[in-house]
Amino acid sequence: MSSPILKLIAQRIALGILLLFAVSVLIFVGTQILPGDVAQSILGQSATAESLANLREALGLNDPAYIRYFKWLGGVLTGNLGTALSSGQDIASSIKGRLWNTLFLAFWAAAVSVPLAIGLGLLAVRYRNGFVDKLISGLALASTSLPEFFIGYLLVYFFAVQWQIFPGISTVYDGMPFLERMKAIALPATALTLVVLAHMMRMTRAAILNVMQSAYIETAELKGLSPFEIIRKHAFPNAIAPVVNVVMLNLAYLVVGVVVVEVIFVYPGMGQYLVDHVAKRDVPVVQAVGLIFAAVYITLNIIADIAAILANPRLRHPK
């Protein structure tokens, strides 16, 4: 691997670390300016002034903000995410199972949506401006126009209430048989798939159509290659960088943007955990979950940047 490529990759990784540090500051500041009193929310309205003062001292709320931030950041760097104020449970232990549930849901949504989106994008390009292309693009536009909560409620109404094929509440637990778990996540995974499928398909189509304007595509046509061979052998490989970027951004959304879908289907993942503790004003939990979401999003974006760098022939074969 050449030195310019290694330098670019190192720059992307360094920028990602710096960005994550900046996001951690924003998360901390944002949670500190939330209205209300953490100690009051824990002890209730009947708490005495003395008990409130003692709890604030115990939680370190009387320390300056920058000291509390560096204590929190130091704990995060050593794997200590703190303790949930509302339950007294270790946050890292509570998050472990929920993070696995969210990743499991996102994985199967991605396993369906990514190949389907790329395949539909290739099909739309193959029959561009024809009936198939217009049908796929029209359905994609309609799917993009519908918010995820509306799609989720439609799936619940038809598949859980009317036809009773899948459960409307996605209950999963440790040791659950694989097929039962797949049935439980069928509706939330479908909702996530429909949300990201249209965007990935449209961007794949646009990226390939952009490459189709190149001179070497015209040369391939003059050689007598079939339209599908031209797309598969020449257009798609050269459009891989923007397609990978779109896929990675949507994978990041599948992990980070599951909050609404998890709440609709009462799925025990990170999104549901976050919403439950926002309502309780459990600041350490909100900070931990927000930072994990940010880390996942930034990491997947770095992977997308690195893939784009490696896919660039000008960088791989410099003159």
- Of 65, 90, 26, which is closest to residue 284 (Cα–Cα)? 90
* Cα separation, 276 vs 216, whole angstroms: 55
For 195-232, how does the pLDDT look when each residue is reduced to its tens digit (9 = 90+)?
888 888 988 888 888 888 877 777 887 788 787 788 87
State pTM to two decimals.
Answer: 0.84
Quick one: pLDDT at residue 182? 94
Exposure on the CB side of residue 33, measured as CA atoms within 13 A: 5
Distance from C-alpha of 38 to C-alpha of 66, rounded to nearest angstrom: 18
Helix 283-311 crosses helix 270-279 at what angle (to 10 degrees)? 150
> CB of 298 within 8 A of CB of 16?
yes
Question: Do 238 and 231 contact (CB within 8 A), yes or no?
Answer: no
Per-residue pLDDT tens over the stretch 43-96: 767 777 788 788 777 777 777 888 889 988 998 888 888 888 777 788 988 898
Of the candidate ranges 42-51, 269-278, 285-294, the one whose mean pLDDT is the lowest: 42-51
Which among 64, 65, 41, 63 is positioned nearest to 52, based on CA atoms?
41
More confident residue, 152 or 240: 152
The position carrying tokens 């969210």 is: 102
C-alpha to C-alpha distance for 102 and 256, rounded to whole angstroms: 9
Structural domains in the chain, CATH included, are: 3-35+81-316 (1.10.3720.10)
How confident is the model over 254-271, as pLDDT tens digits? Answer: 888 788 899 999 999 998
Given a cut of 90, whether residue 189 has pLDDT beyond it is yes
pLDDT over 80 (residue 193): yes
**pLDDT confidence band for 161 (50 / 70 / 90):** very high
Query: In the structure, what pLDDT confidence band is assigned to residue 160 with cuts at 50, 70 and 90?
Result: very high
